[in-house]
Structure 1
């Protein structure tokens, strides 16, 4: 393990200072737009409470096996996907691991490019809420203005600049410290909104939409497919981002426990989002459809009709901003670490390079149809393939014996043969299914 000792000081990145800091950073990476605009709609559309049965099963499996594997590989190698995949291949006497590792790295960069645009929309919407322009203009028109070609450049740039500033603080003072503030605040703000929404006349229809079980949906394959895709992408299993966070983790920490807590808190965020959004939408007779229209067109109309709607709109979009920034921090970090290692850059130039690249590409796809096509290509083809590669590298190329040794560090009770079976066979098969079915259905995450 001399590689670990030599690599980390050279990269100037430090380590997580505490278990809670690591977990909150991982939750920050996982909680994103999919929790907020996709999960509530899918929960209601695919059987209400019945949808939770397959969803919880997939979250448990992907959380314990998938996240643990990525965290473990990162901590074992002390580096990101390029170095980790290269290490795994070399344990078999093979070359080419760095090439395979570049695929999920590109996936993280690709998501960051599109995601920064969306978070820029969120920031602009916060300003619209504070200034009142969000409520004096039709929300569809407001959305159209900010999603046109070069329609949100300063807001887009501000989001990237904020992410870069956070990362320049390193792991301990940047990533960990910010997530310790932003993630608890996210949960508190959403909880406040959910409580307020519960008192709206007509909100009961939203709870019925979300929670009344339609058991017949459990017999429909699409319910299971969508639950699988939602769980997989919600946990930010990409074959890259969680590997880099694992590389900054102490050998004393219990990885499976941290993975389980990350999955649990991510699921809490998704459920809380549902309770904050859907009942309000139904209270005012709006369409609960998913995606950007829900967040940027439907919800502003809802808030405009609520007592103290300006305040709650501001709180809502600030919480969404926090979720978006913490996810971007992870995406930028995995790319910056690669730039440090492969281009021999110090941390500051590496982070600035990533920020400049994300903005330089993203500014030309701010037009919503272009951004949508970009994100579809990345999330349907690149990211799931990268995640599948990661699963293969961890449980087949590196092998269960070596990953088990890493995962057993910091644990009182060693993981056993059942974990190995699910990692080597069940998880691999499901990761392949996510990739293939995503192509067949044009995206399931």
Structure 2
């Protein structure tokens, strides 16, 4: 079958918005504050920022470089950089595992994002005096989870089936600025509330004794990979939609900076909000000092905080916040669902419309299995994909780029970029860094992961 891609990004800003949208998602706005609150606030933030610089940026650049060079799906893109049949098979396997990982991530991601849609609608029901409807929308019941998981998957499919420029790029350009505006406004409001400064101190003043704790390191690594969608194949797919002459070093820096800024802004809103809620009488911590309901932090703490405000503002803030979460979920889910979709489009005779519907149906079925076995599978799926598969796939990518890809061919790919000198210090160091330092760092943290 043909391995010609179905489209390209029409502009640099279109790619940045789409790639940043892929990176900026529930992982930033739900995951990051939750992880930071659970793992010592400032200590977690410090480790996360160091890992973004030491691992996130170089690995994101590696994925984009492989995808852009291959101009095809992750499995074939990984195989393309190998020179012998055995290496090609291994590369294809790593790429295919990333496609499977992306599909599995979609299961819990669709459930989680479905919650955001229902929580955004609940205040509307309250304002319309539909208390029973509102209670159902905010209740973690089987029926509510089934309905809104499917609603969210349908939203993603509607965007994906429109293609790269008319779907992914157009909607990313609309949704990303909206997300940033809402987030900045949320931070500005929360920081004016009584109790917020205590949360700000927890976030910004690190407890250095916690920096080398296994849970903090593992949580920060998982968050780094999950946040930047490293190891899911999404960035390889987006790299394949880029023109060959774009300067990937700069583009990757823009995407990483946007992603990290949003994660920080989200923590700047959610963690102070916890202490505002506590100031208003909402119980946040257990007697032993641990965080209550850490997995559902934004679904318990923030609605409780909004309720204490009273008046119309409690409803408006709830609608705005959960709209923000829905947008974040949508921009990321679009990129993750595109991974299996692009593979099917290339490997079969199906058009984009049918391939998208097929992938949507598969994700819907898998998500239903998780919904019906929620207590067993939801947490397991998160651990399996974000804490186990993504770091291992990233290790495979680092080894392939550093050790398998012919140095001359890699240098030629680097030199093909506009305004880039392959013999500049950055482009001399980056391949060596990915070859030696990245695998070592990933192995050290994976060892912590499997022994914790």
Q: Which of 55, 65, 75 matches 1:72?
A: 65
Secondary structure of 1:366's match?
A: helix
**2:153 paired residue number:** 160
1:270 corresponds to: 263
Rounded to whole Å, the distance in 1 between the matches of 2:108 and 2:211 is: 34
Residue of structure 1 equivalent to 2:93: 99
- Given that residues 115 and 145 in structure 2 are in contact (C-alpha distance below 8 angstroms), is that contact kept between their aligned partners in structure 1? yes
2:383 corresponding residue in structure 1: 376
Please tell me whether the aligned partners of residues 256 and 407 of structure 1 are also in contact (alpha carbons under 8 angstroms). Answer: no
CA distance in 2, matches of 1:227, 1:382: 15
Which string of whole-angstrom CA distances, capped at 9 and with x for unpartnered residues, describes residues 329-361 of structure 1?
Answer: 111101001111222321111111100100012
1:23 aligns with 2:34: no
Structure 1 unaligned segments of length 5 or more: list them.
Answer: none
1:293 aligns with 2:293: no
Distance change in 2, residues 1:38/1:291 (3 Å): farther
The SS at the match of 2:81 is helix
Matched, 1:87 2:94: no
User: How far apart are residue 99 of structure 1 and its match?
Assistant: 2.9
- Name the CA distance, whole Å, in 2 between partners of 1:64 and 1:165: 31
Q: Contact conserved, 1:35 with 1:269, CA < 8 A, in 2?
A: yes
Change (3 A) 1:16 1:354: same
Give the superposition deviation at 1:15.
Answer: 0.4
Among 113, 120, 128, the alignment partner of 1:126 is 120
Match of 2:202 among 202, 205, 209: 209
Map of 1:21-60 to 2, 5 A cutoff?
Answer: 21-44=14-37, 46=39, 48-60=41-53
**1:7 maps to what in 2?**
3
Tell whether the 8 Å contact from 1:80 to 1:244 is kept in structure 2 after alignment. yes
CA–CA separation in structure 2 for the residues paired with 1:404 and 1:184: 36
1:36–1:274 CA contact under 8 A, matched in 2:
yes
- CA shift in 2, pair 1:193/1:398, >3 Å: same
Partner of 1:191: 184
Tell me if the contact between 1:47 and 1:216 (Cα under 8 Å) persists in the aligned partners.
no
SS across alignment from 2:405: helix
For residue 347 of structure 2, the aligned residue among 342, 349, 353 is 342
Task: Give, in angstroms, the shift of residue 124 of structure 1.
Answer: 1.1
Aligned with residue 306 of structure 1, among 297, 309, 312: 309
Are the structure 2 counterparts of residues 63 and 373 from structure 1 closer, same or farther at C-alpha, using a change threshold of 3 Å?
Answer: closer
Residue from 290, 294, 316 that aligns with 2:321: 316
Query: Which of 175-184 and 407-416 deviates more?
Result: 407-416
Q: Equivalents in 1 of 2:215, 2:306: separation in Å?
A: 33
For the Cα contact (< 8 Å) 1:239–1:390, is it kept in 2?
no
- C-alpha separation between the residues in 1 aligned to 2:383 and 2:277? 31
Correspondences of 1:414-425 after superposition (within 5 Å): 414=422, 415-425=426-436
- Unmatched 5+ stretches in structure 2: 286-290
Q: What TM-score, normalized to structure 2? A: 0.88
Match among 385, 409, 412 for residue 420 of structure 2: 412
Distance in 1 between the 2:383 and 2:57 partners?
A: 27
Aligned equivalents of 1:262 and 1:166: distance in 2?
A: 21
- What does residue range 200-239 of structure 1 map to in structure 2 within 5 Å? 200-218=193-211, 220=213, 222-239=215-232
- Paired residue secondary structure (1:38): helix
Report the Cα offset of residue 71 of structure 1.
0.5
Comparing 255-264 with 89-98, greater Cα deviation is found at 89-98
CA distance in 2, matches of 1:436, 1:351: 38
Q: Is the CA contact 1:210–1:274 (under 8 Å) kept in the aligned structure 2?
A: yes
Is the 2:136–2:144 contact (alpha carbons within 8 Å) kept by the matching residues of 1?
Answer: no
Matched residue pairs, number?
433
| TM-score (norm. length: structure 1) | 0.89
Once the two structures are overlaid, the 10-residue window that deviates more, 51-60 or 297-306, is 51-60
- 59-68 or 355-364, which deviates more: 59-68
Q: CA deviation at 1:400?
A: 4.3
Cα distance in 2 for residues equivalent to 1:305 and 1:221: 37
The 10-residue stretch of structure 1 (165-174 or 413-422) with the greater mean CA deviation from structure 2? 413-422
> Is the 1:37–1:291 contact (alpha carbons within 8 Å) kept by the matching residues of 2?
no
